[in-house]
Amino acid sequence: MASSVSDRGYLPARARSVKVVVLGAFGVGKTTYVATLSEMRPLHTEERLTRAGELVDDVAVDTKSTTTVAMDFGRRTLGDGDIVVYLFGAPGQPRFAAMIRSLLTGALGGLALVDTRYIDRSYESIDLLEEAELPYVVAVNTFPGAPEYPEDVLRDALTLPGDRPLVFIDARTMHSAKRALVALVSDILRPAGSRAR
């Protein structure tokens, strides 16, 4: 955990910096999540989706016009300014796995977004977080018409370890998005002995 060296007055010098990666399958709401939470104008790297990509990508081009090709970046201060979370939104398409791994370098935790219409597409993100041995929280982003499952069914389907929090959010709503971030940061800051990883 690094101490912020900000001396420009807009972040308290005592603030602790926490790097968090938001990951999940294509179109699950990662860019939306970072944009909702960021208190600065977020950085996005959106490019237009084209039909050419349908040959290699398992994505529903009709539902979205752009996709993240590198990362999203935003910042959210928590508490009384004691904790500054740097949010890195990952790209969603499997061919960007190397980019996601590099975003995980130096991260203190991950937030895995899940869409219950495509649960099987979440495995890769959770595997990457397990591989990186990072604390993480799974956040089910609720879309209209998406199937609703009880928590234990979802945990089973995701083979989620019992110590990993599972929350339900709407990535477009500050209050809801923040709840997931607080759950993750609380877990990250928990004394090492009381956490399983």
Ligand X SMILES: Nc1nc2c(ncn2[C@@H]2O[C@H](COP(=O)(O)OP(=O)(O)OP(=O)(O)O)[C@@H](O)[C@H]2O)c(=O)[nH]1
The answer to the question of residue 141 lying near Mg ion (CB under 5 A) is no
The answer to the question of residue 122 lying near ligand X (CB under 6 A) is no
Could you tell me if 18 and 11 are in contact, meaning their C-beta atoms sit under 8 angstroms apart? no
Applying the rule CB under 6 A, the residues between 8 and 67 that interact with ligand X are 24, 26-32, 64, 67
The answer to the question of residue 124 lying near ligand X (CB under 6 A) is no
The answer to the question of residue 74 lying near ligand X (CB under 6 A) is no
Cα–Cα distance for residue pair 40/194, rounded to 1 Å:
33
Applying the rule CB under 5 A, the residues between 9 and 68 that interact with Mg ion are 30-31, 68
Residue 195 Cβ, how far from Mg ion at the closest point, in Å? 29
The answer to the question of residue 172 lying near ligand X (CB under 6 A) is yes
How many chain residues bind Mg ion (CB under 5 A)? 3
Cα–Cα distance for residue pair 181/188, rounded to 1 Å:
10
Give Cβ neighbours of residue 3 (< 8 Å, ≥ 6 apart). Answer: 13, 14, 15, 16, 17
Cα–Cα distance for residue pair 45/40, rounded to 1 Å:
16
Interface residue with ligand X, options 73, 118, 123, 143 (CB under 6 A): 143
36 binds, among ligand X, Mg ion, none (CB under 5 to 8 A by kind): none
Applying the rule CB under 5 A, the residues between 66 and 125 that interact with Mg ion are 68
> Which amino acid appears at position 89 of this protein?
G
